[in-house]
Copies of this chain bind each other. A is one copy, B any other.
């Protein structure tokens, strides 16, 4: 479309995946329009927050009509860049790596999972959803030969930084890190750290402070 979305704040961008997931549900159910009030009940943001967010990139809503679900879904997908294809490798094919690959279903969202990598001889040569598990020693050559956008790190934390260095050194542009420690990458490399423990610790806090 050639539209620029650079005026949208990162705070709004970080809420868009949630809109996208819910709108996908509506599209799948052939629902063609929805009010900000109904969206609010589904998503948990206030109706005014929703109107503000969606106005920031176009204002698809019409008073008394609501939002056109398909138009909004496609537009948010475009803003997030989900109309493009990205190639991915997952490093660490233990239970977490396999769990993520099975759970997320990358292909569904235009992410092309090219290979998994591991060190465990029992895993190497096997397939997860039709994608091969290769030895970590092949990682750098594989990335150099194939254009890979995103490397997902599901290795134990003691190998996480080294894995990141290899991924970046061979040419990936972005890292999604599931190791509990943050990884340091050179400027210009995109990184999203996700620490699963954090949510559990917050639950402990909330449990302990609501008694």
Contact = CB atoms under 8 A, between A and B. Distances in A.
A150 interface: yes
Nearest to A192: B199
A25 B181 contact: yes
Q: Which 10 A-B pairs have the closest CB atoms?
A: A99-B99, A81-B208, A96-B99, A17-B201, A17-B198, A95-B99, A81-B204, A96-B103, A95-B102, A190-B206
Interface in A18-60: 18, 20-22, 25, 42-44
Contacts of A111: 200, 204
Nearest to A211: B173
A86 B204 contact: yes
A143 to B, nearest CB: 15
A82 interface: yes
Nearest to A43: B182
Given A200-B111, A202-B14, A207 B96 contact: no
B207 A150 contact: yes
Contacts of A141: none
Interface residues of A, number: 64
A109 B192 contact: no
A65 interface: no
Interface in A152-211: 173-174, 176, 178, 180-182, 188, 190, 192, 194-210
A92 to B, nearest CB: 10
B100 A98 contact: no
A106 to B, nearest CB: 8
A18 B195 contact: yes
A201 B20 contact: yes
A47 to B, nearest CB: 16
Contacts of A210: 173, 188, 190
